[in-house]
Amino acid sequence: MRLLLVVNSFASSVNARNTVVVHRLLSRNHEVEIVETNRRGHAIRFAQDAARRRLDAVVAFGGDGTLNEVATGLAGTSTALAVLPGGSTNVFARTIGMANDPIVATSELLAGLKEDTVEPIGLGRVNGRFFCFHVGIGFDAAVVAHVERHALLKRWLGHPLFIWSSAMTWARGYDRSRSQFAIENLFTGQRLPGLFTVVLNTGPYTYLGNRPLDLSPEARLQRGLTAVTFSSLRLPTMGAALMSAVRGRSVATVGDVSEWSPANHLHFSAADDDIRIPFQVDGDYLGDTETLDIDYVKDAVRLVWPGSASEVDL
């Protein structure tokens, strides 16, 4: 097969040594080109070019943001998406059953290519931008923005930085005194005020170390989108939701939390003229806006699923 390996050398788990090993393993039985990203949006253009040249697959080796860009560039094309975990969390790679170690994951990817385990999957789309596993609106996005302002620490601190950023944002970085937006389900006509919404294409929402935080058992690939909305960010609400997520139970059992499933056609609007809505896509902060439109695109991209690592000799 003709593959393009897109490497984000700034990602937390990517280094010169494992990049060489990954490239060497993939090149044993495939024709592999390798490119490195150096700015936001770079991987989208690499993926689009690979699709124009009709390469068989593009391998995203980086964090979830790199994966998102490659998926966005490949959506609607015949070139397949493959993923290798190179970030601090690697939500999507772990969700589809890959090991969190990039070398082991490479053997699983090679097995998948050998078995031709390529199947189309649906993606979410927000204001025209695709997402693989979730989009966060409101508080969640403000936390990601805080993390990105300390990007130099992210590679070394990982999850502790996210915990610290969450606490700082909750304490003084986000207006919790009033609703920030209204969310409307365009299919059912339901409407809710919100401070924080996560729209999930799959679960879990994220991982805390090795422990998945699962907001809804309904959120799984190929089921469409699920929206979980918090109308309060009081400590009892957040604490109870965290405990439910750790236990793998729906957080909609907690007061001030609502769940819609499916939620394939949503519209968000700022609650007041002086409010703009922050949002993040697959862990990357994309800014703030007055409105957001979210929909579900069936069979948006062809995904290479991992195979059995035992079939490949490292």
pLDDT in tens, 208-261: 888 999 999 989 999 999 999 999 999 999 999 999 999 988 999 999 999 999
Q: What is the largest CA-CA distance in the chain?
A: 60
Position 305 confidence tier, pLDDT thresholds 50, 70, 90: very high
Name the architecture of domain 131-298. Answer: Sandwich (2.60)
Would you kindly state where each structural domain of the chain is located, as residue ranges?
A: 2-122+300-311, 131-298
Among 154, 87, 113, CA closest to 26: 113
Report how far residue 308's alpha carbon sits from residue 286's, in angstroms, rounded to the nearest whole number.
36
Q: For the whole model, what pTM was predicted?
A: 0.94
The CA dihedral of 264, 135, 172, 247, to the nearest 10 degrees, is 90
Among 50, 131, 151, CA closest to 296: 131
Among 5, 20, 63, 110, CA closest to 280: 63
The amino acid at residue 300 is A
CATH topology for 2-122+300-311?
Rossmann fold (3.40.50)
Residue 151 has pLDDT above 80, yes or no: no
Position 176 confidence tier, pLDDT thresholds 50, 70, 90: very high
Summarize pLDDT for 1-45 with one digit per residue, the tens: 999 999 999 998 999 999 999 999 999 999 999 999 999 999 999
